[in-house]
Amino acid sequence: MSQPTLNYVTCPDADGGHRMAYWQWGASECDHVLVCVHGLSRQGRDFDVLAQAVCEASGNTIRVVCPDVVGRGQSDWLKNPMGYQIPAYAGDMLALLAQLKPRTLDWLGTSMGGLIGLILAGSPDLPLPTPVRRLVLNDVGPVMQWQALQRIGVYLGQPVQFDSLQQAADALWADSTTFGPHTPAQWLALSGPMVKPLPGAPGKLTLHYDPAIAVPFRTVTAESVAQGEAMLWQLYDNIKASTLLIRGAESDLLSVATAQAMTQRGPHARLIEFAGVGHAPTFVVDDQVQAVLSFLLD
């Protein structure tokens, strides 16, 4: 498999700024850009299989850009952990888009990445270089089930260390079985970028992200989630982009009722569900990849 190039963009914050890394597939001169943004504890290499498929299927006319949201992967860690929140991430994406200068812009967001996409596609006054043309929301919507957020909070930010990549992959799988069936090779490939050497402990590995991303997450309550729903629905209803909603049929985050409502209001999303998958599809199996390709290249 070919490899992406690693690039950086400087993003402003109250502490002097930070660098956000992004992985780029395809030629830098391509002005049709698909931005793929990962979930809460993940990173941009999650999209390796999908990005390569998009480049090949489009005849290398689409450039695929996969950021490591700040605090993850190769990006800087923030001095103030309360900066690890979605509005700030959206600001970083504006800096990224200003650097990329796309003439045609598509967006695919898994979970947290989808919420960032809601802000960018649903806020008409933001200084985007061009409006979002096509939007893929992967297992997320304006209403998120509290029990799923509690499940994620159990493991987020916990101190861990591993003796090998295989041990790390096994531990990650224990928290990620909702992703659905994966071959051992597929899961090992997804797990490699999820770990890094543990400083001061030769031979040991730890997770790629700043444990402090859990600090603002732990301030979330069932009441605050419910209060945010009206704002998220307003953003969704503002979306003009053609929208594809992907749902794991066993998802505990995106309910059937919310998914159906998303097909009936706002951009009237087209809904595709994948059996045997929960939160969230990973786009490493053929049917999931083909669903995205058909939508983007139609």
Alpha-carbon distance of 144 to 267, in angstroms, equals: 19
The closest of 234, 271, 236, 235 to 251, measured between CA atoms, is 271
Q: In CATH, what number is assigned to the domain containing residue 21? A: 3.40.50.1820
- What is the rounded average pLDDT of the residues 178-191? 97
Q: What is the mean pLDDT of the chain?
A: 97
**pLDDT above 80 (res 283):** yes
pLDDT at position 296: 98
Is 96 inside a domain boundary?
yes
Is 11 inside a domain boundary?
yes
Give the count of beta carbons closer than 10 Å to the beta carbon of residue 17: 11
Domain that holds residue 90: 5-146+222-297
pLDDT at position 152: 92
Q: List pLDDT tens digits, range 4-42.
A: 999 999 999 999 999 999 999 999 999 999 999 999 999
Is 31 inside a domain boundary?
yes
pLDDT at position 298: 87
Is 202 inside a domain boundary?
no
Alpha-carbon distance of 278 to 237, in angstroms, equals: 25
The tally of domains found in the chain comes to 1
**pLDDT above 80 (res 1):** no
φ/ψ (deg, to 5) at 279 = -100, 110
Q: List pLDDT tens digits, range 45-78.
A: 999 999 999 999 999 999 999 999 999 999 999 9
pLDDT at position 173: 96
Which amino acid belongs to residue 157? Answer: G
Is 270 inside a domain boundary?
yes
Is 73 inside a domain boundary?
yes
- What is the rounded average pLDDT of the residues 222-248? 97
Torsion of CA 96, 247, 211, 166, to 10 degrees: -110
The percent of residues in the chain predicted with pLDDT above 90, rounded, is 98
Is 230 inside a domain boundary?
yes
Alpha-carbon distance of 140 to 21, in angstroms, equals: 24
Under the banding of pLDDT at 50, 70 and 90, the label for residue 2 is: confident
Which helix (H) or strand (E) segment is 185 a member of? helix 184-191
Is 247 inside a domain boundary?
yes
202: alpha, beta or left? (left if phi > 0; alpha if psi -120 to 50): beta
Q: Which residue has the tokens 């998914």?
A: 259
pLDDT at position 40: 97
